[in-house]
Each structure stands twice: as structure tokens, then as C-alpha cells.
């Protein structure tokens, strides 16, 4: 078990959460950021001493039951939970890299959503698949070079309006969450040359990335509102949802418009243009 790495990961995730994120009341100013250890312990149904020992790399190895409870308390997503288990179990880091082949049933799923902007991204933030409406709505993102179909490269190294607007109303949160996800990927796949090259390019080419690379992880948003400025359709206000592809280290990003809204009409026109 990598006790120090486990403790650091738990502390970073705890400090990234606010009481409101987990349904707790804000009880005045706090001396340190994030939740208190005793609050996490209550949410995880473990003693404060037990949780504190986990963070401080002391005591015996935690059980799977405790890890699941702590994972739920800290609102970890599937990838973060697997990372937590790997740290706790001392599992050897995975060979190769994240899967890049999109399952056929996932491709068929997004293809059957003609009125939804749908795309699939992997653990490196490479966009692997998309439906026709995604290409039409995010036209400036889909260049000829697959290497540039990476949200982080386009955000930090080659600023693109499509990526900026895909980041939603809080660009800083998007950037920090995406960088934290890449850091987890680099930890899990230390021998993957593509991941190492991506991290190197970003660190060498972006001061903003270098700063975020050392910061604690923020909880990733699973839903919200994003705005896309399309060259012909204008401003598109879209609700997004993120779905995990089981056992693939991939996610489906779905963007939809409110029924009857101007954006819905614009999406219908864009969809008709690509049929």
C-alpha cells in the first residue's frame, strides 16, 4: 500500500469539497479549505480517528468496505475510486495506456441521438468519437489532425473557441478538473508514452497548466450548463451530462437544448444541414 500517496489523495479530495457539495450546512468561516476530517468520517460512517490515520499514513490497511464508504463521502467518480483502490492495494500501475477503441454499442448510441451533441473522450481528454451534430456544432474543434482532438491541448496550447465554450460557465473549474484527471491517468499509466508526451508538451508550453498540475484536485462536474458560440448559429445554450463508459476509462458527453428554446431550433437547423 502506498500510504503517503493514499493520504495525500484523500487530503486533496477533502480540501476540494465544500460543505454544500455534500449536503452539509456552512457553519461560519474555516481556518483551512474544504471539509473537516470529522465531517468526512461522519459521512463515511467511520471514526474520526480511523479516517485521520488514513490521511496521515498510519495504521493498518483499510478494508474495501471502508474505502467504498470514504469514496462515496468524498464524491469520487469511477476513475477516482479505482485510483483510490490502486493506492490502497498497492496494485502495480497498469501497462500500456488508456483504451482508445470506442465500443461499437457506444458509437451506435451516440449515432442514434440526432438532436443531441454527443462525443466520447478518453482518460487523456482525447475526443475519440462524435456524432454528426457534434461536428456541426463544434466545427472549429474538429481539425484534420487527430493529435489536436485533445481538449487539453486545444485549451492550453492552441486556444479554440469550441473548447473554451465547452468548458462551461466556470472555465477555471473545467481546467482544474481536466488537469486533475490527466494527473490520475499519468499515475495509473506511468509507462504510456502518449500520456507522458502530452504532459511534457503541456508543462513546457503553458504556465497555466504548470500551476494547475501541482494543485489539489477539484470534484468534477457531472452536469451543468455550457455555452457555445457557433459561427453561423450564434449563441447556443446547452445542458450537459457526463456518463461513464464502464471498464473503458472513457466518458460520454451529452449536450442538449431545452425544448422549445431558440437553441433547440438552432440545433434542428444544424442537424438538418448534416443529414
Give the residue extent of every domain in the chain.
Answer: 3-89, 104-273
**pLDDT value at position 91?**
44
pLDDT grade for 57, boundaries at 50, 70 and 90: confident
Residue 147: C-alpha distances to residues 152, 180, 194, 252, 274 (Å): 11, 21, 10, 19, 24
Q: What's the pLDDT tens digit per position in 70-105?
A: 999 999 887 788 778 877 875 445 678 899 999 999
Q: How many CA atoms lie within 13 A of 188 on its CB side?
A: 20
Question: Tell me, what's the pLDDT at 216?
Answer: 62
Question: Strand, coil or helix: what is 227?
Answer: strand
Q: Is the pLDDT of residue 186 over 70?
A: yes
Residue 218 reports pLDDT greater than 50:
yes
Provide the CATH topology of domain 3-89.
434 Repressor (Amino-terminal Domain) (1.10.260)
Fold match, 3-89 / 104-273: no
Give the helix ranges, DSSP H, for 33-154.
37-44, 48-55, 64-73, 78-89, 104-111, 132-137, 151-152
Mention every residue, 6+ apart, whose C-beta is less than 8 A from residue 52.
37, 41
Task: Judge: domain 104-273, CATH 3.30.450.180.
Answer: yes
Give me the pLDDT at residue 143, please: 62
Residue range 177-189: mean pLDDT, rounded: 84
Task: Give the whole-angstrom CA distance, residue 34 versus residue 110.
Answer: 37
Q: Is the pLDDT of residue 44 over 50?
A: yes
- 226 three-class SS: strand
Q: Comparing 117-121, 137-141, 249-253, which segment has the lowest mean pLDDT?
A: 137-141
pTM, two decimals, is 0.68
Burial 56-82 (b: 16+ CB within 10 A, else e): eeeeeebeeebbbbbbebbbbbebbbb
Distance CA 73, CA 13 (A): 10
How far is it, in rounded angstroms, from Cα 92 to Cα 5? 14
Name the least confident of 32-41, 128-137, 156-165, 170-179.
156-165
CA distance 99 to 122: 7
- What pLDDT score was predicted for residue 92? 46
Amino acid at each position: 500500500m502506498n500510504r503517503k500517496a493514499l493520504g495525500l489523495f484523500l487530503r486533496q479530495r477533502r480540501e476540494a469539497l465544500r460543505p454544500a457539495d455534500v449536503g452539509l450546512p456552512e457553519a461560519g468561516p474555516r481556518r483551512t479549505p474544504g471539509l473537516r476530517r470529522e465531517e468526512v468520517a461522519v459521512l463515511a460512517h467511520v471514526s474520526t480517528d480511523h479516517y485521520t490515520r488514513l490521511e496521515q499514513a498510519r495504521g493498518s490497511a483499510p478494508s474495501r468496505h471502508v474505502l467504498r464508504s470514504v469514496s462515496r463521502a468524498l464524491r469520487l467518480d469511477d476513475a477516482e475510486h479505482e485510483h483510490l483502490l490502486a493506492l490502497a492495494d498497492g496494485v502495480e500501475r497498469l501497462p500500456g495506456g488508456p483504451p482508445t477503441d470506442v465500443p461499437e454499442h457506444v458509437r451506435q448510441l451516440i449515432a442514434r441521438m440526432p438532436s443531441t451533441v454527443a462525443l466520447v473522450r478518453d482518460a487523456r481528454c482525447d475526443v475519440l468519437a462524435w456524432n454528426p451534430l457534434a461536428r456541426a456544432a463544434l466545427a472549429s474543434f474538429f481539425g484534420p489532425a487527430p493529435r489536436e482532438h485533445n481538449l487539453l491541448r486545444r485549451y492550453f496550447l492552441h486556444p479554440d473557441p469550441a473548447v473554451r465554450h465547452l468548458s462551461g460557465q466556470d472555465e477555471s473549474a473545467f481546467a482544474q478538473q481536466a488537469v486533475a484527471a490527466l494527473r490520475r491517468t499519468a499515475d495509473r499509466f506511468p509507462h504510456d508514452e502518449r500520456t507522458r508526451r502530452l504532459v511534457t508538451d503541456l508543462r513546457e508550453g503553458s504556465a497555466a497548466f504548470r500551476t494547475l498540475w501541482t494543485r489539489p484536485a477539484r470534484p468534477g462536474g457531472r452536469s451543468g450548463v455550457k455555452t457555445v458560440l457557433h459561427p453561423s448559429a450564434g449563441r447556443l445554450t446547452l445542458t450537459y451530462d457526463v456518463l461513464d463508459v464502464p471498464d473503458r476509462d472513457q466518458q460520454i458527453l451529452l449536450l442538449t437544448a431545452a425544448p422549445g428554446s431558440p437553441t433547440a431550433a438552432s440545433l434542428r437547423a444544424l442537424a438538418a444541414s448534416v443529414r
